[in-house]
Chains A and B, each alone.
Chain A
């Protein structure tokens, strides 16, 4: 098992990475029509010119939440009620 400090840094790193990936996904949703989305993306539909704006908004906000999580985890330590 990793010592607490390393564990925390790993968690923060993963959260930042997840945040970046999700915001990139959001941009892909906004820019590309449904037919051009990678086939493993929810909303991919061959031949459709529809833009999944709402999927992009959801990915953006979840990405933002990942950044907020990292922001809190790297803040000063508190005794209780920190979101983890």
Chain B
């Protein structure tokens, strides 16, 4: 039967484990999910509808993990937004409300650009060759963000208060819009937002936190809108594999967030930049040779 061989359970487990890590590490999950099947000789293509539905299920799992991990923050943020709507303004001391609206301002351009550009960009850059090349460029983008980062004075407030005071409305819009680059396989959404966060003056830890908060609604919304396809004809033959992959993705996503939040207390984007550049260059040479 042809359907049974679309994605095997072994492939699903590997892709799920990889997705959970690569979605949150600034190394492009989409790029890796295009490059890895090609490297391993799997007959999986990025634009196949069943594979997109499969990937979306793993994205949903990642979004749910992000939501759970930052649940208390989200409760405070949503309450802050509610307070500001009631008061018809943002109190200068209400950093939860400010952060909430920064996330809204950052999500709007990402959502609009995503809707307008998703299909044309995915079709134009669907090959593993282009994904490998853009992964290399992603490394350069991360390097660039490290070189050009603005070092704002760090104050001893809690994390969200510090983010709310450092990031302005234009900065949030720009960081949000930068997520659109991740529509091209090889470029990383979290890399773009972390890099953007550094450019507007956030520390590495705060940039990672802002990137994860910003990622939750956009990944979650995209996944929720696409997941119904899994229950239709598109999902025939891959529902079980998608479920297994989602559980694997959730597991690695949880550990990835915990790891990154500690990692960025002292470290920079440079190791990820080196990895992306070297892996992207090696794969580019391999695919073209």
Contacts and interface: CB of A to CB of B under 8 A. Distances in A.
A71 B105 contact: no
A37 to B, nearest CB: 14
B108 A72 contact: no
A72 B88 CA distance: 5
A72 B86 CA distance: 10
Contact of A84 (B92, B169, B225): B169
B148 interface: no
Given A71-B88, A75-B88, A78-B92, A58 B111 contact: yes
Nearest to A53: B225
Contacts of A57: 225
A76 B87 CA distance: 8
Contacts of A53: 225
Contacts of A55: 115
A54 B87 CA distance: 31
A80 B88 contact: no
Interface string B88-126: 111110100010010011001001100110000000000
B85 interface: yes
Interface string A58-84: 100110010010011011101111111
A46 B94 CA distance: 50
* Best-surrounded residue of A76, A81, A82, A84 (most CB of chain B within 10 A): A81
B76 to A, nearest CB: 17
> SS class of chain B's interface: helix, strand, loop or mixed?
helix
A65 B109 CA distance: 12
B250 to A, nearest CB: 25
Contacts, number: 48
B115 A83 contact: no
Contacts of B115: 42, 54-55, 58
B88 A76 contact: yes
A82 B108 contact: no
Contacts of B90: 72, 78, 81-83
Contact of B92 (A61, A81, A83): A81
Given A75-B87, A76-B89, A82-B89, A42 B225 contact: no
Contacts of A65: 104, 108
A66 to B, nearest CB: 10
B132 to A, nearest CB: 29
Given A54-B115, A61-B108, A83-B169, A78 B89 contact: yes
Contact of A71 (B85, B104, B112, B169): B85
* Best-surrounded residue of A55, A61, A76 (most CB of chain B within 10 A): A61
A61 B115 CA distance: 13
Interface of B: 84-85, 87-92, 94, 98, 101, 104-105, 108, 111-112, 115-116, 169, 225
Interface of A: 42, 53-55, 57-58, 61-62, 65, 68, 71-72, 74-76, 78-84
Given A62-B112, A68-B85, A78-B90, 14 more contacts: A54-B225, A58-B112, A58-B115, A61-B111, A72-B90, A74-B88, A75-B88, A76-B87, A78-B89, A78-B92, A79-B92, A81-B91, A81-B94, A84-B169
